[in-house]
Amino acid sequence: MISVKMVWRNLMRRPLRSVLTTLSITVAIGLICFLSTVITTLYSGIQNADNRRLAVMSAVGLFVELPIKYQAAIEKVPGVEMTTKFQWFGGYYRSQKNFFAQFAVDPATLFDMYPECRVPAEQREAFQRGRTSCLIGSALAKEFEWKVGDTIPIIGALNPHPDDRAWEFQVAGIYHSEVPNFDNRTMFFHWDYFEETLEAGGREPGVGVFSVRVAPGADVPRVIADVEQAFHDSEQRVDCQTEAEFQRQFVTMFGNLPLFVGWIGTGVLIAILMACINTMLMSLREQGAEIGILKALGFTDGATFGMLVVQSLVLCGLGGLIGIVLAWATQGAIGTALGTTFPGYTIQGVTYALAAAVTVGVGLVAGIVPAWRAANLRCVEALRETN
């Protein structure tokens, strides 16, 4: 009963209005996709974390280092298959705005623990051989145009070089990871070189995080409890968690971001809902006479109601579709722009679903409001509506 042609003609009655409304929805949906993706990206690390990998750190906090000898003790805990260590270096390249993560690591065990870190075999060997060499992520290589063989000076803010100069590392390899929670913007170098250099200056460095792989068949919660118990009476207590929990810890530190973003999203939603209802009511004012005629011709209330709702859904649907396509098309550019502080920006299925739901929801509500009014109008009144 509802003619597509009629719906289209009604929308094109005032083309500028329809275009502006559609564009408003496009903009709003684009924004909603962005906000939603920020949240999903932040939490994606948690979802993809290997749940047989554990993180061991000081129970006091990340600022505090654990003694190196703890590594041997951890490896003795039943159920522990292997360990590797990470120490946050906290330096920067030339100026503070060039901020990226640097870690002192065990090159021998890093790759076994993190198979997602992919490096060509000869680069991996070069890294493992070269004491002062480093491994950089593909995003870093791209941003600073570093190649294998380059020497990178890093100013040690947290760990100053005892000779009062910048630390220097030669790029032995470039790694790439497809997994969101292992980002491509990190630099790894040798723990031994780190330890030696600092000890020459009179400092004994500790370790920030030990990474542990649980042996197949072992019970993860049991291993966690055992690891923590092992150091209960030592000079430093430890906190052991699955990698997923460890990542979640970082995310929650930002505060209640989902709530914050939710508020913004709600505001956006209200704004476009108002815009759409406004447009539909304006259309109704002009279509009033036509509806009277339709009813006089025998169209049921249900049919006119349906037509108005369809009109609204088409308008919103078009806007939403363009918004979603735009979001999809620009995610690469946005990801690059955010790259520094926010690696791994990719839109996920749940965001598309949310955008679609919002589009349909707004379309329905904005259509029902005038449709309900129109349905209650009797013929004569509808004809008078134009005046």
Partner 1 sequence: MLIPLSYNLRSLFVRKSATFLTVLGIGATVAIVSGVLALQQGFASMFTAGGREDVAIFLRPGANSEGDSQFSRDRGLKLIKSIPEIAVSEEAGPLASMEAYLAVLLPPARGGVTNVPLRGVQPVTFEIRKEELHIVAGRKFTPGNDELIIGSRLVDRIQNCRLDDVIQLNKTPFRVVGVFEHEGQFGGEIWGDLDRLLAAMGRYGPNRVIAQMRPGTELGSVDPLEVMFEDDPPEPAEGTLAARLLKDTEVPAKVYTEKQYLASQTVFLSGALYFLGGLLMVIMGTAAIFTATNTMLSALAARTHEVGILLALGYRPVPIFFSFLFEALVLGLLGGLAGCLLAQPFNGVKAGTMNMQTFTEMAFAFRVTPVVLGIAISFSLMLGLLGGAWPAWRAARLKPTVALRQG
Residues at the interface with partner 1 (CB under 8 A): 14, 16-17, 20-21, 23-25, 27-28, 30-31, 58-64, 90, 94-97, 155-158, 160, 235-237, 239, 248-249, 251-256, 263-264, 267-268, 270-272, 274-275, 277-279, 281-282, 285, 341
Residue placing its CB nearer to partner 1 in the complex, 155 or 379: 155
CA-based radius of gyration for the chain: 30
Q: How far is the CB of 121 from partner 1 (least distance, A)?
A: 36
Q: How far is the CB of 274 from partner 1 (least distance, A)?
A: 3
Residue placing its CB nearer to partner 1 in the complex, 120 or 267: 267
Q: How far is the CB of 251 from partner 1 (least distance, A)?
A: 8
Residue placing its CB nearer to partner 1 in the complex, 254 or 297: 254
Residue placing its CB nearer to partner 1 in the complex, 55 or 80: 55
Q: How far is the CB of 94 from partner 1 (least distance, A)?
A: 5
Residue placing its CB nearer to partner 1 in the complex, 182 or 246: 246
Residue placing its CB nearer to partner 1 in the complex, 59 or 218: 59
Q: How far is the CB of 209 from partner 1 (least distance, A)?
A: 13
Q: How far is the CB of 333 from partner 1 (least distance, A)?
A: 14
